Structure 1
């Protein structure tokens, strides 16, 4: 092992740990990797910035804009009404899968799921079906459909870009379709049969018509006339009487030890957890108030023409990582009162104004009636409660659909590269008014763009220093004697496991050079191994953190971590078997 190989592998290992632990943002990790490679001279200055001008990076950025144009133009309106016509849960899922099969191969699946979450929650409530029976399938099928085309996910484009840089001819628009359709068909049958039985029936997570989506945590201040003054939390029996549990007692800004035994005083703050209806009943009956410090603007809860609504922090939200205190100074948020926070899988025990918001957090908001349009237009949030039908924009809807069709069709015919058609399509939608110029920049998930551009040079370094070849010889090389099919199964399994615990794009960057080196070691075509990496990295089912769409439905559906293991692990193994069987059929060694 040379020094360069040791450094590259060490850097890749550190990156894997950082991605898995989420101690830093994924884009920050990518830039740290990029900077370290450049400083150590493992890549040239030209190679260091090549990722920012790579066709894959440009295409993914343009695809985000195209997806926003489709949504804003009203081209996707009417889907909710179509789903609401389903007569049974089975029929509902079947219609949902068919719609996703038509849309997700051509629109970024993260954007698809963001659009569909409120639609699915509303439609399931109308037919009396639990949303938890539909949201995991929404995430899974969007991934399955996304892998059917070159542009369905950023991972497909990333593997294609790295492979081209390493001398592979690359993939066509519908290169993955044959295997993708087989996997999606089998996956949909699984979700309609065994998967339906394994999915939880969490009726309490449906908050489209009632505000019962989860256990909210809020701050309640003891007012001068409160009946709780002089009583302890234990004596008041708030849990037994109201179903509300006091997590912490704050007095003069500090936590009080043993909150259940302390006699309550005026201006004490109770950090309480429960369904909002129970919290509100407690507030009214005992003389408590939502702590004014927790409100973005001080106003009475009973103020007329206020709307109670629930929103989820979107994947590329600018307010992710910020606090409620900072939020109160930004735009229309100044007129909003945040009543509670729901974070799936975690009980918050700190003062809520200091909590760092995360993707998937659900906020219970009180907003003026006049601010509803601003709320719906805000791309930082996904509205989960029932909302009005999106306004149609006349000719712009068919224009957006035609533009998207041309963006896909022209590269498929081999006339124009996808990077050029996607850019021109984004410009056309902007000029047509499908989205405003400022919305173009807001629609792009810049963290994904920086991640791609920052990690592409790592793939180059792994190849040029021999790190990929060294890794192959000491891992999959151990099963080389069993033939290329066994090696393919091992490579697919490696990608499958790695993707469940870190960014799928990062897994693709690390494993694509390994796939190429594996083919060189066996003296066979690299395409089967690259296909295995692509499919494994683009379909992550077993954990809620393995793929962004899983994280999005995790909170909205009221799921447990184990729900993804129960439903997703068999599906992952099913895809592994399908891949090992069919990849050599379509792409012989």
Structure 2
């Protein structure tokens, strides 16, 4: 067919399937990657050894280690302390706050997982914005963008850099040194800062208002206190056996005695006459209680956050994390109360607030939940892989005495790799061992810190690159690309790779983008008879600069809900920035890495 070998057509079909599944997101991306791996091995395109090579790839191992090292730094409380100092300095004025945000998050993201850093700073910025009298939306987007820009400074700053470095070495190239990306990254960072400080800040809308959570989630009409009368059949009945709200879309949020003292230990509460039941639900559902003579609905009041701090619980805003297992699941499948002793009062999803039929809503990454949760369990939410906490809370107990040790370990990992003493995969493994042996992390904490979805994604998509090269699919694509751009010169080819990578990373993950395009970039350079390094740098940089959508990069997803952004906000702010970087990258990359 068309003179193309069947195995090449098969691989092209597989690439198309991969892109469709990655964009559609109905199937988790890690599962999609394993599907691709299985098809390649079962079809005979790859041998089992080639198919499983992604699991043993140095990039996969190093990235897993970096998750653990970042967690070690977080567990000691080092990031929280940085957040406290940042908050104090930034309270001076808005311009200083924005300057410090971008510099601090940029430096941190160059050496640790930027999603961990952004997670720490989201509640800090929301609180800071309130003190400055500014919308948090104005600062959260620069936070995310600066985290991306900082991540490309070093080899370990983002998984994309490590992945492309590994692909380069697998193709008998020298790979990249620890700070080799820094000159171009610095140009991008300064350019991004100037753009955001002058133009971007004017385009970013003031979405999130300075208001309490009860107003942010529009709860005024969805909360009511109900008094249990003496003749009620539910008097002396355990709360868990009470069917007062049976068959109604209502939740009993909390129970108070007649003096409005919260009754602790929800699971063992026995209802008494004059108990006050705080109930969440719509007016329509609450009106169904009016016909009951054994309850009295108290007059509606203007709710404030402090009304929910009378007992042992508090209101918090929790955002579904980018790689959460909750994505795509209905709320009634999650048992949030059993896991966190929390009740979901409202949901903000796709810019719309939902207060009714919450149990049937399928959660998405970036969705914000208003939770009424036991104060002792708030830290469980903060440390959970499922949520990013957008509400500032008192700092949990950290191993602060271990901060110097953790910082020394990170410095050692970076230093030994930077000076060529050991490969980065070796220093990262040694760093993980030291984190555990010195008590910065336990074995269990180390295992839990690894984002296994990313690991399985890498293990699945790396063999696809091997299949593209093995079957000649990559070469065929290159021949078509060269035909279009060869007469213009290699700079045009580099520009094409930068643009394609920049567009693709806004739809699928940055790791998948790099894994798909890096082998093609190497083939293109070989065909042209030039060094592949500038092409690989273009793919690497562009894959990590996803500003146009809230779904292309994890940090954008994390701020989407707390910032109350619309999808188009990222398009308006991010498109000019991506175009600027495309132009700069086209001419600056060949300057530092000549063809």
Distance 1:18 1:266, change over 3 A: closer
- TM-score by length of structure 2 reads 0.83
Moved more, 533-542 or 356-365: 356-365
Measured against aligned partners, the alpha-carbon deviations of 1:437-493 in whole angstroms (never above 9, x if no partner) come to 222222111111000011111111111211111011123431211111111111211
| 8 Å Cα contact 2:144-2:556 kept in structure 1 | yes
TM-fit CA distance, 1:17: 1.1
| 8 Å Cα contact 1:504-1:538 kept in structure 2 | yes
Cα distance between partner residues in 1 of 2:384 and 2:29: 23
Equivalent pairs counted in the alignment come to 530
Cα distance between partner residues in 1 of 2:284 and 2:12: 60
| 8 Å Cα contact 1:84-1:126 kept in structure 2 | no
| 1:260-339 superposed matches below 5 A | 269=249, 304-328=311-335, 332-333=339-340, 335-339=341-345
2:194 corresponds to which of 189, 198, 203: 189
Partner in structure 2 of residue 139 of structure 1: 144
| 8 Å Cα contact 2:323-2:386 kept in structure 1 | yes
Cα distance between partner residues in 1 of 2:225 and 2:136: 37
Moved more, 308-317 or 539-548: 308-317
Distance 1:357 1:442, change over 3 A: farther
| 1:425-440 superposed matches below 5 A | 425-440=431-446
2:96 equivalent to 1:83: no
2:524 equivalent to 1:518: yes
Moved more, 463-472 or 419-428: 419-428
Cα distance between partner residues in 1 of 2:45 and 2:354: 44
Partner in structure 2 of residue 535 of structure 1: 541
Cα distance between partner residues in 2 of 1:217 and 1:169: 62
Partner in structure 2 of residue 486 of structure 1: 492
Show structure 1 runs of 5+ residues with no match: 226-264, 272-278, 290-299
Cα distance between partner residues in 2 of 1:429 and 1:27: 28
| 8 Å Cα contact 1:8-1:462 kept in structure 2 | yes
Partner SS state of residue 21, structure 2: helix
TM-fit CA distance, 1:39: 1.0
Partner in structure 1 of residue 272 of structure 2: none
2:53 equivalent to 1:50: yes
Partner in structure 2 of residue 399 of structure 1: 405
Partner in structure 2 of residue 156 of structure 1: 161
2:414 equivalent to 1:408: yes
TM-fit CA distance, 1:85: 2.6
| 8 Å Cα contact 1:137-1:191 kept in structure 2 | yes
Partner SS state of residue 181, structure 1: helix
TM-fit CA distance, 1:53: 0.8
TM-fit CA distance, 1:302: 9.7
Cα distance between partner residues in 1 of 2:547 and 2:204: 13
TM-fit CA distance, 1:433: 2.7
TM-fit CA distance, 1:130: 1.5
Distance 1:112 1:307, change over 3 A: same
Cα distance between partner residues in 1 of 2:131 and 2:56: 47
TM-fit CA distance, 1:498: 1.2
| 8 Å Cα contact 2:319-2:389 kept in structure 1 | yes
2:564 equivalent to 1:547: no
Partner in structure 2 of residue 443 of structure 1: 449
2:393 equivalent to 1:387: yes
| 8 Å Cα contact 2:78-2:400 kept in structure 1 | no
2:110 equivalent to 1:105: yes
Partner in structure 2 of residue 2 of structure 1: 5
Show structure 2 runs of 5+ residues with no match: 229-244, 252-278, 290-306
| 8 Å Cα contact 1:223-1:267 kept in structure 2 | no
Distance 1:356 1:84, change over 3 A: same
Cα distance between partner residues in 2 of 1:505 and 1:179: 20
Distance 1:129 1:139, change over 3 A: same
Distance 1:314 1:288, change over 3 A: farther
2:423 corresponds to which of 408, 417, 422: 417
Cα distance between partner residues in 2 of 1:452 and 1:27: 8
TM-fit CA distance, 1:180: 0.7
